[in-house]
Structure 1
Amino acid sequence: MIVDGTGQARDMNADVVVIGGGIVGCAAAWYLAKRNVDVVLVEKGDIADEQSSRAWGFVRQQARDPAEMPLMIACNRIWQQLEDELDADIQWVQAGNLALAADEARMQQFRDWLPVAREFNLETRLLSRSEILSLVPKMTGPYIGGMYTPSDGHAEPRLATVAFADAARRKGARILTYHAAEKIETTAGQVSAVVTDRGVVRTPIVINAAGARAMTIARMVGLSLPQLVVRATVAETTPMEPVTGAGVWGPGVSFRQKKDGSFYIAGGAQSDYDITLDSLRYIREFMPNYLKNRRFFRMRVGAPLWHDIARRIPGTEDNKHPFARTVGIEPTPNAGTVLRSLKGLNRLIPATSELRIRRSWAGLIDTTPDAIPVIGPVDAPQGFIFATGFSGHGFAMGPIVGKVLAELIVDGAPSIDLHDLAYSRFAEGRVGKPKSVV
């Protein structure tokens, strides 16, 4: 039984239930509805409330793990016509992605990635400092060169995610906000229902697109998902005249300039990590990558750990309602990261020295040991499908992931091979080192 907007209870059935109202879940609902699938999306809060609205907005093919490249190249084509497809303004700008190198070692990393670009016919090229200055004259700060992919772009995360949800609704999808999934029922090894805090939706197929909460959803069907969550800080500056339309990944700061002239700035790879019980459970899987990149992480022990412990104790309210504490939360931004990001922007572009911080926020990023997502069905239970672990790439990849999931469900197979991204890779020992360059 589901409580509708009038407060009345009613039965509900669906061909597919999507758990998660971020861009991946909303895109899946849209593409399924386009294929005349009866789809219900359940979201514990509001659409784009937790992760997707807090993303940086970068849409890049550049410097990705080769396993992601087929999806991202196809997704870039979707982004180019998405405003027409969804009949919505998502502030799409296609002006490239520019990664800067402060030293020769970083330039060598870019050179080493170029064979991947050539393999996938991507127009990425290396640029000298003088070539970059021709492209962005005001960027006179410290760097020796960079890598540029002109077909990359960026968009406004909340606008894009809400546009998918609105389009899905118009096609008949039922979008149930403030419905937290609390249990998944199975019958004879097959998914049979999703139990929310407001009722039950009977269905044979569930897509776990819950992002930072996907581990909890996986445990509902007895699966262990090696995924952890980091907290990234982003800030928005006051506006100035146009500097560049490209997304820039630079030494000490990553940024893009919005259409109103303000900058979204972030600390590149810098993140905060709140320790949870899963930190201990998956320490073996994540330790190699942590040791290699530990300078980028600041460890914290606090409320997330205590809430996680409470969720694991049978009979507690946190155990019965695992997402109750997570609705409407505002992750704490790191003030030091904001200050360092602004200083990094000022160093790269001295003309920004008079800008001030308009606002700052933090967002959660779900990440896997090999920093590539988990997409596709599992062997058991039948009907359970993962779409998570995007490792900071979920916003950019969301549209194509929604599309291939619809193909998987309706056609029986996706148009793009998902073997390298399968959940089974963890049990089969097919987990390598992260291969992305930025």
Structure 2
Amino acid sequence: MLHKNTDATSGLEKVLADLEQDYRSRNPRSAEQVARAAQVLPGGSTRTVLHFDPFPLVIAHASGSHVTDLDGHEYADFANDFTAGFYGHSDPLITEALRSAIDSGLSFGGLNLHEEKLAREICTRFDSIDRVRFCNSGTEANLIAIQLARQAMGRSKVLAFKGGYHGSVLSFLGGKSMNCGMDNVVLAEFNAVESVEAAAVGILDDLAAIVVEPMMSSGGGILAETGFLQFLREFSTRHGALLIFDEVQTARMGRGGLQEIFGISPDVTTLGKFLGGGASFGAFGGEAAIMDLLDANREGAIPHGGTFNNNILSMAAGHVGYSKVATPGAIEGANAKASELRRRLTEVAQGADLPIQLGGYGTIISIHFQPNEVRRPSEIRTSAKQRKLVHLELLKRQIYASRRGTINLSLATTGDDIDSYVRAFKEISTLHSGFLRNT
């Protein structure tokens, strides 16, 4: 048995080496640009998630549901900027909104008409949000929401979850991080009631908030169990803490995000990614009693600044995108398309005798090559080498995807794009079933 596993490992190493060599030969201009950029940017990049070995592609152009790299290869885009590209590339309504906003001038240093319109659209869709404030990223939204909870409750501790990701300084994925304020953060296991109770022992009188993703995104596309979220709602209320739902990625899954689908209302919701229409964006909102602590008309209000909180590009593109492009009907149609893709991928895997779990929800699909359901990140068994194998093979077949194995559909994704992905996945599953089955 040991000899068989050793042979399989060496065989996979050989395949990966060949794929790397092929990748290098097909993408010399990307390689040159990354090397050039590395002279002024650490690793040639300013965003770690975009890195993969041997070097990431450099994108020169994007349109609709496709991207084109520096070497002229056109790909069907199934990464879609890690869910931020939900509108696809250069949607005409959003593009026109941006042009109109630019024509009216930038950096007003004052209020504008677009921010109220976007805020009203968000408050209309999310029953739990009476008021909303804008910022510049999901990271910023989560940081401020947590600090607001501490101020509102007069407490300091926050409970979060192992494998959760709430931004670049609130990452609980394991390994090194740039996290801040960890002395006041306790971690529990996702989808585990008893773990929450154990983690909270001794801090209940100082627990300000529980922050959770209704679906762990970076942690592996792991959907929360309804009973688990119901427990968190009851537990936080019972102990006088606020419940924060991080819907930075999952707002795209329904008219009012995953909270509407689960039927569970948090006290505060954080948003980001696609809601800026392709421009930088973050937001946090909730009950009026909490959010009005930021009302500058009130004596003793908590200040919340940010030069670009209401920047004209994010506000204009965000409003038009959310009100006219990502309509409830469009979201429902995209989810239906994703359901069909799930069905077809499952059929392919079964035909190749591959164990597979398709995590996520709606237009976010996470592929795990294993027979057992994934309830928390520690249960993921797909290896980094298997991820690399599938990723390089997809790129070879003109499918732009993420190394982590997540599929992110956009509203621009076409039936032909899905056919291309399924065809590529079938070829890869047939060619490498032995390596992918060896979990």
Q: Same fold (TM over 0.5)?
A: no
Higher helix share: 2
TM-score (norm: length of structure 1):
0.25
The structure having more radius of gyration, on CA atoms, is: 2
Higher strand share: 1
TM-score (norm: length of structure 2):
0.25
The higher-RCO structure (CA 8 Å, 6+ apart) is 1
